[in-house]
Structure 1
Amino acid sequence: MSRSLNMKTWRACVIVLTGGFFTLNLLFGNGPDARGQLRDGGGPADVQPKNPERRAPGEREEDWRVRLAGPLDAEDARVMAWIREEHLHPPSDLPYNLDLGRNVDFTKLQYWQRVHQGILDVLKGKRNGFFLEAGALDGYYQSNTFFLERDYNWTGLLVEPNPVFFQSLLTRHRRAWATDLCLGTKPYPLKTEFWVHTGADASQSLIAASRSGLLKEHLENYASDGLESGSVVEVNCVPAISILSALNVTQIDLFSLDIENAEVDVMQWFPFDRVHVEVLVVEHWTAEDPEDSRAFVRLVEAKGFSFYRRDNHDYFFLHRSPRWVLARPGDSGAVDNLEPYEPLSMN
């Protein structure tokens, strides 16, 4: 009888001690919570700003949380509202402003002419299409989409995170949506640094057009000429699906991607499985080794495309299951042109 009582007492003590241990661990330890997520930053849902007072003067707490409380989901309701309310500008109905200022007439630049004609050849006069142009510059200079908009009644989305160019873009009065966000290289919103042209020298205008918007880590890939006329700025980037979902876009007839060395990272996170892209034109600088070019083509083809043709650094791809485009790999238009561009005469 006494031994049986002692055994019951011993078991009760073990139960009490065990329960106490787990209670203390839940209260003060780093164990999982009710959702199975770790405390102290173990899961994105639990990450909170350590010191909200560190936000910049005048910065709202909502912006602070959008930036640092994440990573937030690409289609988080707060992100979507932030994009719609602060970073999407609707199409304009005002007359176009096509003043080139001190820039040279880009329509005389052979590299622009060749890409422009290549796009027209593939689209074959299609009207009322929807484009996405990432790297839209000022909305007119060297644009791959303006003439589709003006002459064929297209509309679309212009993406330009360079703050100087974006302000100019808004003055062009394009018949398309515009955003100053950059297409992200991660599956969540973040801030990153861009090099942008800020020089006023007219001779630097082509450098501005070709290099502004470079991700800071890619600057070493370029010659230093002209880079002293620029500066590094912080910009907001979001996954492409965030902006496209905010606009309810599920089909893009032409995706023009010219973002100075960030194209591979952007395409890795582009929602090709949710948004149908009929024609894709990408500027991509490869090494002298032909295998580098072939590797890039294989990467894009793995996203559901067929390689069509190449014009030096510009690659044309067609969706493997096209909905309307008539061009096909191997047809009469699928001829690469690797001839050097003729220099522009300034006379």
Structure 2
Amino acid sequence: MNVVTIPSEAESRPARKVAIIHYWLVTMRGGERVLERICDLYPDADIFTHVVDETVLSQTLKRHRIFTTSIAKLPFARSQYQKYLPLMPRALETLDLSAYDLVISCEAGPTKGVITRPDAVHVTYCHSPMRYIWDQYHAYRAASGRLAKLYLQMVAPRMRAWDRMSASRPDLIMANSQFVRRRIAKFWGREASVVYPPVEVDLFQRSDAVTDECVWISQLVPYKRPDLAVDAFTRTGRKLHVIGDGPMLEALKARAGPNVRFTTRMRFDELRAAYAQARALIFTAEEDFGIIPVESQAAGRPVVVFGRGGGTETVIDGATGIHFHEQTVDSLVEAMDRFDAWLPSFDPAVAIAHARNFDRARFMQGFAAEVRRAEALVAANTALTD
């Protein structure tokens, strides 16, 4: 495990009271892994969230005091929290954070709208502006039932107005990729720096036992586009191992050829071996960042990735993988043909070295540096008004 200390400048400062605002704590996924690393930087911080399921939390998070907003008191909030989205702005604004010197909001659902002291430092780490009210609004609306569609139509305009307005509250915003940075500029009208999220690259290692089978790894949900991989490999007869579970599983099995196999769950040691022994990882989603392609490269294997979103930043076309540019079966098949011709020139050491650009140490150093920059900005503004 990498151990990264807060830089000496931060250690020399008087003790600060720190609050971390996280949208909801009901799973341990990518956003929660980032939260763990922020907690490593600020081990005495208090965590505020709309709802929490303590049974899923890691020991890192359990070591912190966790407070919930008024959303947690509503019926079935732990499972139906997203239906209470219109109530979350008021719930955030009623949190009394006046005792905290540093407030860190982790944004994917609404968190940045908290009210802080004028002299407090407020930084936001943004995984994504809320996609269901911005760039993915029409896709979510089309996939909704009649009542859900009507509900989304009613709440989205008000949430967009609040989301844009509350984007003025943080003193500094960090984005988890250049792709998200551009969306922040478009939807919020704010500049953001980029601090890539931490990937545990040291947990993966290269294998000499590489097979002729590609892997697709993720949740089997529509926006991840597992159908593209299943259909493209079924058409060409190439071998594919789909690793993941979700509502699309049975439909995908029904359309898959005999060259495509499925595994819904794996132990972590099995997953590491699947990465390292794969001919390539197939990554068909448009993600804000995408940890899975980095893990594949950390294991010394190339990635065939959709060339939009975070995949353009994590995979170097022609060096650590191949990009395809349309979310269509034809585009993926054409990319696989190019991949087959390119693969003999692939160097696993290049992929492993590239993956290290996204390791835990880089994140923690970058995050701490941005907090120091925010502190300097607030101190300068406070001096001007005194």
TM-score by length of 2: 0.27
TM-score by length of 1: 0.30
Question: Rg: which structure is higher?
Answer: 1
The structure carrying a bigger helix percent of its residues is: 2
